[in-house]
């Protein structure tokens, strides 16, 4: 969390001649999502043993932080991937915001924290994260798959899919998530 704060401060305080305001805002969304996610996670894991009420509150905030990180992670990719396609960029960014807000609303729902809804918790965030496949396929069809792999980081999406396999395995395990 502190490393992200340091990198964000360095990046966001660079002179406009080095990094334009528009780019600072785009990456600022990512940095904000990462800092809030890591901060909420730190708070949850530090304070969850205080009391049941505090544990539930910070559990909700932890899930909200995950949703904010997913939202923030989409912004730079969609902004630069669809840089020359304003309408597509606007639609996909709007969908990400709506899905993110829905994830946050579900996260704040009291029933959401019950142990029997563990698959739902994981499913909400997996669906939100994997929704990035749609703009990735769209971009690949528009710009070509070679461009998708070399410039828009399709390889990272493949690695993300492998990570989601680990998430699925974690959900199916008996450990608390």
Euclidean distance between CA atoms 132 and 165, whole angstroms: 16
Is 163 annotated as contributing to ligand binding?
no
Per the annotation, binding residues for Zn(2+) are: 45
Per the annotation, binding residues are: 45
């Amino acid at each position: 969390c502190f490393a992200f704060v340091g990198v964000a401060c360095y990046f966001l305080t660079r002179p406009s001649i080095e990094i334009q305001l528009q780019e600072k805002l785009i990456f600022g969304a990512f940095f904000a999502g990462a800092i809030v996610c890591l901060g909420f996670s730190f708070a949850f894991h530090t304070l969850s043993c205080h009391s049941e009420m505090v544990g539930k509150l910070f559990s909700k905030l932890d899930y909200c932080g995950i949703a904010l990180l997913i939202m923030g992670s989409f912004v730079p990719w969609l902004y630069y991937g669809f840089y020359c396609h304003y309408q597509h960029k606007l639609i996909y960014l709007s969908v990400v915001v709506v899905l993110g807000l829905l994830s946050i609303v579900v996260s704040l729902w009291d029933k959401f924290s019950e142990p029997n809804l563990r698959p739902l918790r994981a499913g909400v965030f997996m669906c939100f994260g994997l929704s990035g496949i749609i703009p990735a396929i769209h971009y690949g069809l528009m710009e070509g798959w070679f461009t998708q792999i070399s410039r828009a980081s399709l390889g990272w999406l493949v690695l993300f899919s492998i990570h989601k396999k680990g998430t699925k395995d974690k959900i199916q395990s008996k450990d608390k998530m």
